[in-house]
Amino acid sequence: MTGYLHLVAGKIAAGKSTLAQKLSEEHGCVLLSEDAWLSGLFGPELTSIKDYVRYSARLRDIMGNHVVEVLRLGTSVVLDFPANTPETRLWMREVIDLSGCDHSLHLLNVSDDICKARLHSRNASGEHQFSVSDEEFDAITRHFVRPAASEGFSVREYLETV
């Protein structure tokens, strides 16, 4: 019996990590956080969006087989890596297919205004591994693509209005 895989998608500060933590606690899953791994492995070297793209791809390359094996052993996983682009979701789809697991893609549908307000609070608190400017938010958000039905994910959407 394989584990269950929870995936998260949404803009920066939409609440992906908060939801991932909640899912991990509620379902007794291993939580794998991209931000924690990137910060621990490459923190001082991550100074631009270009750096993020390069290092997150390296992290996915090494983590993919690990996640597959954890799932094959029957342990459920919350993968707190943003499922925000077709390319990233293709990697996630490969993990699902190779492990044979069932999954849910949790899509947080949150407006830019709410995300930016949360981002400002998060930046001010200094508690998050990375600080993101409004300009970086806009640049990264331009690449956000909602999952298409043709990608084959079981999507659960969360609407945020406040």
Average pLDDT over residues 59-64: 96
Instruction: Give the structural domain span for 8.
Output: 4-159
Give the model's confidence band at 162: pLDDT under 50 very low, under 70 low, under 90 confident, else very high.
very low
Q: Average pLDDT of 61-73?
A: 97
Q: What is the CATH number of the domain that holds 67?
A: 3.40.50.300
What is the tens place of the pLDDT at every residue in 11-35?
A: 989 999 999 999 999 999 999 999 8
| Ranges 55-59, 72-76, 125-129, 132-136: which has the least confidence | 125-129
Number of separate domains in the chain = 1
- pTM reported for the whole predicted model: 0.91
As a whole number, mean pLDDT of residues 128-145 equals 83
Higher pLDDT, 47 or 10: 10
Task: Walk across the sheet containing 155-159 and list its strands.
Answer: 30-33, 77-82, 4-9, 102-109, 155-159
- Read off the pLDDT of each residue in 113-133 and give the average, rounded to a whole number: 79
- Which residue shows structure tokens 């621990």? 40
Flag the least confident range among 4-8, 41-45, 69-73, 93-97.
41-45
Q: Mean per-residue pLDDT for 111-117? A: 92
In this predicted model, which residue has the larger pLDDT, 87 or 49? 87
Look at residue 126 and tell me whether its pLDDT is greater than 70: no
**C-alpha pair distances (Å), 122 with each of 106, 111, 131:** 22, 16, 8
